Every structure is written in C-alpha cells, then in structure tokens.
C-alpha cells in the first residue's frame, strides 16, 4: 500500500496537475502489478502440475 504528499509545483518531476481534486495528500492505495486468472486457467494449471 502506498500514500504520500501531492506535488503542486510544476517544476517537479511528479507534478500533479489536478492536485486541487486530491488535496494535500494521496489516499492510501495499492501500488504495483496485479494478475487475474480465470477459473479455467487455474484448473488447467492445477491439472498440469498434478500430472507430473
């Protein structure tokens, strides 16, 4: 999870042009990749692993 300040200075690398909507800080949010697998894919992977 991640949260932190909102950068309002346009000269900074992480400048947020819509900072007026966010306020002084970002809300707590997830950060990073996420993967989703269908039930069919999971069943296939389990079957492959069990057939070794």
The model's confidence at residue 37, banded by pLDDT at 50, 70 and 90, is: very high
Instruction: Find the helix or strand (DSSP H, E) in which 47 lies.
Output: helix 39-50
| Per-residue pLDDT at 44 exceeds 80 | yes
- Per-residue pLDDT of 10-26, as tens digits, reads 999 989 898 888 888 88
Instruction: Find the helix or strand (DSSP H, E) in which 42 lies.
Output: helix 39-50
In this prediction, residues 21-44 reach a mean pLDDT of 87
| Per-residue pLDDT at 35 exceeds 80 | yes
Look up the pTM and report it.
0.45
User: What are phi and psi for residue 27, nearest 5 degrees?
Assistant: -75, 160
Q: What is the pLDDT of residue 1?
A: 59
Closest CA to 27 of 16, 13, 38: 16
**Cβ contacts of 14 within 8 Å, gap of 6 or more:** 7
């Amino acid at each position: 999870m991640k949260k932190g300040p909102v950068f309002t200075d346009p000269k900074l690398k992480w400048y947020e042009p819509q900072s007026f909507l966010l306020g002084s800080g970002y809300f707590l949010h997830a950060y990073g990749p996420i993967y989703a697998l269908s039930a069919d894919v999971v069943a296939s992977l389990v079957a492959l692993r069990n057939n070794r």
